[in-house]
Amino acid sequence: MGIDGRLTVAMPKGRIFRDALNLLGEAGLTLPRELVEDSRKLIVEVPGEDLSFLLVKPVDVPTCVEHGAADLGVVGKDVLLEEERDVYELLDLQISPCRLSLAGTTDWQPVLNPKVATKYPRIANRWFRKQGQQVEVICLNGSVELAPLTGLADRIVDIVSTGRTLRENGLVEMEEITRVTSRLIANRASYHLKSRQIGELYERLAQVVKEEGGLQ
């Protein structure tokens, strides 16, 4: 965490990065040219402003913020739900909308010992328990759509935005678990120790996404 007035923002590489960058631009932040997704530099400072960015994997954004490596972070609600970190969820940035859904092959039939493959084991476990169903959750790190095709699992829980990937792999969306957009999150201590700076940045972003009311 930066000392005194300096704010550090953890940015997720990948799906959300471009949308998040545009949003910061719309909020009137000066963005350095080095702030690109494939930047080799992992810490990018904004010249002339008390602001720097950390470029990390999306799943690491809440961890960085919880432990104070960054004061603020931009991250998808899917990751927040999965990671359950002790952070402030300040603002729905309404970017990169998609949904977390249960999907399976078109001819799916209930099986005796259901298996579900996912990158989101905690979300999947919670959701199935809430439905009163016991399933075995298999954790995969990518190409989750392969699981039903190879018999690794009979269904999957994954992010769906247009549904194209599902269709191309012969899968259909069966149920929506939750809607996902990106959020602005804050470290607990920073929220109080840097309330003025965070409040200002919050207000600039809130204006863009038309959220009324401030934090102070």
- Closest to another protein by CB, 63 vs 118, is 63
Distance (Å) of CA 194 to CA 5, 28, 63, 66, 142: 7, 20, 19, 15, 37
Task: Pick one of 21, 53, 79, 88: the residue that binds another protein (CB under 8 A).
Answer: 88
Pick 147 or 198: Cβ nearer another protein:
198
In terms of Cα–Cα distance, which of 128, 118, 177 is closest to 152?
118
Question: Of these, 19, 45, 200, 211, which contacts another protein (CB under 8 A)?
Answer: 211
| Residue in 18, 41, 167, 192 binding another protein, rule: CB under 8 A | 192
Contact between 90 and another protein per CB under 8 A: yes
Q: What is the dihedral of CA 144, 149, 155, 161, to 10 degrees?
A: 50
Binding piece for another protein, criterion CB under 8 A, among 81-89, 111-119, 160-168, 170-178: 81-89
Please list every residue from 170 through 189 that binds another protein, using CB under 8 A.
Answer: 183, 187-189
Q: How far from chain centre, in Å, is Cα 3? A: 26
Q: Which of 69, 104, 101, 72 is nearest to 88 (CA)?
A: 72
For another protein, the closer of residues 62 and 148 by Cβ is 62
Q: Are the beta carbons of 85 and 63 closer than 8 angstroms?
A: yes
Longest distance between any two alpha carbons in the chain, whole Å? 62
> Minimum CB separation from another protein for residue 190, in Å?
6
Please check whether residue 37 is in contact with residue 18, taking contact to mean a CB–CB distance below 8 angstroms: yes
91 binds another protein (CB under 8 A): yes
- What 3-state DSSP class applies to 102? strand
For another protein, the closer of residues 172 and 193 by Cβ is: 193
Residue 198 is a binding residue for another protein (CB under 8 A): no
Instruction: Report if residue 89 touches another protein, rule: CB under 8 A.
Output: yes
50 binds another protein (CB under 8 A): no
1 binding another protein? (CB under 8 A): yes
- Best CA proximity match to 172, nearest among 196, 187, 155: 155
| Element holding 169 (H helix, E strand) | none
Residues within the interface to another protein (CB under 8 A): 1, 3-4, 63, 67-68, 71, 84, 86-92, 183, 187-193, 195, 211-216
